[in-house]
Amino acid sequence: DAGVIQSPRHEVTEMGQEVTLRCKPISGHNSLFWYRQTMMRGLELLIYFNNNVPIDDSGMPEDRFSAKMPNASFSTLKIQPSEPRDSAVYFCASSSPEFQETQYFGPGTRLLVL
């Protein structure tokens, strides 16, 4: 199994631009999580989906952030417009129906907003 796949691995953009981060969960997993990691705030859960349905988006910072999961094998996290304070590493994780409590993380997308 290839594990959780995230793209791009690195993204540098200018303030005000739209940024789209992509995630492919492990095949057969039905829960998907988006996290943000910064030095100041540590690891924060932004949103998670169960069976493609958003369950808890209370961690989404503001309206500039949106996430979708159109099918079981793909999710996006979009920031529009981006701001320098959005600079962070964004992780996607997934878990299986049989072992929902164990999350498997992707390698992350390192985002820098100038």
Partner 1 sequence: AQSVAQPEDQVNVAEGNPLTVKCTYSVSGNPYLFWYVQYPNRGLQFLLKYITGDNLVKGSYGFEAEFNKSQTSFHLKKPSALVSDSALYFCAVRALQTGANNLFFGTGTRLTVIP
Given 12, 15, 43, 114, the residue binding partner 1 (CB under 8 A)? 43
**Choice between 1 and 101, CB closer to partner 1:** 101
CA distances in angstroms from 36 to 10, 26, 51, 52, 112, listed in the order given: 14, 19, 22, 20, 13
Which residues lie across from 36 on neighbouring strands? 44, 90
**Choice between 81 and 104, CB closer to partner 1:** 104
Report if residue 75 touches partner 1, rule: CB under 8 A. no
Report if residue 72 touches partner 1, rule: CB under 8 A. no
Taking contact as CB under 8 A, which single stretch among the options 20-28, 65-73, 74-82, 95-103 is the one that binds partner 1? 95-103
Could you tell me if 8 and 108 are in contact, meaning their C-beta atoms sit under 8 angstroms apart? no
Q: For residues 67 and 79, give the distance between their C-alpha atoms in angstroms, rounded to a whole number.
A: 9
- Closest distance to partner 1 from the beta carbon of 37 (Å): 9
